[in-house]
Amino acid sequence: MWGGRFRGGLDPEFAHFQASLPVDHVLAFADLETNRAWSRALAAAGVLTQHEMHRLHRAIDELIAHWQQHGVPRDDDAEDVHSLVERELVARCGDLGKRVHTGRSRNDQVATDLRLFLREYTVELMRLVGEVCAALVDLAAAHADAPMPGYTHLQRAQPITIGHHALAHAEALARDHGRLVDAWQRFEQCPLGSGALAGTTVPVDRATLAEDLAFLGGPTRNSLDATAARDHLCELAFACAMACTHLSRLAEDYVFFASHEARFLTFGDAVSTGSSLMPQKRNPDAMELVRGHAGAVQGALVALLTTVKGLPLAYNRDLQTDKQVLLPALAATASCLRTAALAVRHATFDRDRCAAEAARGYQDATDLADLLVQAGVPFRDAHGIVGAAVNRAVELGVELSDLPAAEQRRLLPQLTVDLRRALAVDAVLARRAAIGGTAPACVRAEIERWRSQLADWAELHDEPEPEPEAP
């Protein structure tokens, strides 16, 4: 495609080093659609006849059908996916397959192919985030009123419900869904027609070309930027890195919850493994692997940012490596989302144990301080009074609600309430009824809100889009 000035061939080692087909073959179908749209634009500009355009379209349709049946070759001797497509079109159309490249560069071609491919893949990632959230919402619905310990600093803090905990992770993932939507919008301008860097000399209608390829934002407005920009890839990489970070936090919680020390939940056989040596083991491998893959996705973001940080305008061959970094990160993110959804659905909480542990460890201390405040004690004074009461309860080996009556009168003379009832876990939970609180009524209201939000997401994800080939 570029050999006019050259006499000799590439060194075989460098030829292998610079080939990108093993990676960019996933852009094959996007490249075919780019060729279809470009041939239509060339025909409208008078460069091709209508007959020639239809010949190319028939060849493209044949190639789509062939690759759908047999797969896109990735070990071919073609330099990249664009070379592969051009060679196959030439084989079917002769010199006409070469003429379709008139007025176009691989620089604007790959920029367009990438946007076409990534906007479809981003929709798939949105759908998978929705699957994890749906699993968490279903879990929350089954445990909206089920108490469990809540933690700060990995120390027991205050009781929450299992449902509230599940929805906390869903909220984080909802922000990731929003980031993916934002990133998707950044793909909605069409670079095709930008040429190598200065724009095309062919009088194509770029607005019609963008519409033909369903780019909602129309054509890009600067050819230099259009061929060189990769910040939209970095943005998508960040959305994936953040989503995997949130999945890693979910995984860490559940790995701890599944430990013998906590015993809050058990993972089913579908997402657990055992030990080759220790017969008693049930390891939370699914969540551990989700946690582990997060590092690679975060690394992809750093690699992309490092690649683009010092590049002059416009295109540089360094940008070929963007796909080598980003595509595996996308695939890892998709796999982590699928696995996390599966693990959540195969996690069984021990409601009785969680409830029993929610009532232990002085997690009702703040509520006791609030009762003192209601009795007229300033909160800072109440904080000190309850701290002394906790110390005495620790010495006696009892919970605050089980302090002997004499100790209650001595330590808490301001109170006449029945502490067993006032500090019962159900009462502690019910007090937290403000929006965002862990009270079962609040959790149930949030579940209904989430059901509506998931339905809205499903409408967005279910718009007719061909599912992208996995990187």
Q: Which residues are catalytic?
A: 153, 275
Dihedral, CA atoms, 237, 243, 249, 255, nearest 10 degrees?
Answer: -100
Angle between helices 106-142 and 162-186 (to 10 degrees): 160
- Dist CA 282 CA 399 (whole Å): 33
- Dist CA 362 CA 269 (whole Å): 35
- Dist CA 178 CA 182 (whole Å): 6
In this structure, are residues 143 and 160 in contact, taking their beta carbons and an 8 Å threshold?
A: no
DSSP 202-232: S---HHHHHHHTT-TT-B-S-HHHHHH--HH
- Dist CA 311 CA 317 (whole Å): 10
Does the CA dihedral 317-321-326-331 come out positive or negative?
positive
Does the CA dihedral 107-112-113-115 come out positive or negative?
positive
Q: How far is CA 319 from CA 301, 304, 311, 315, in A?
A: 14, 9, 9, 7
Task: Kindly give the pairing relationship between strand 347-349 and strand 265-267.
Answer: antiparallel
**Half-sphere exposure (CA, 13 Å, Cβ side) for 206?**
24
List, in sequence order, every beta strand (DSSP E) within 335-436: 347-349
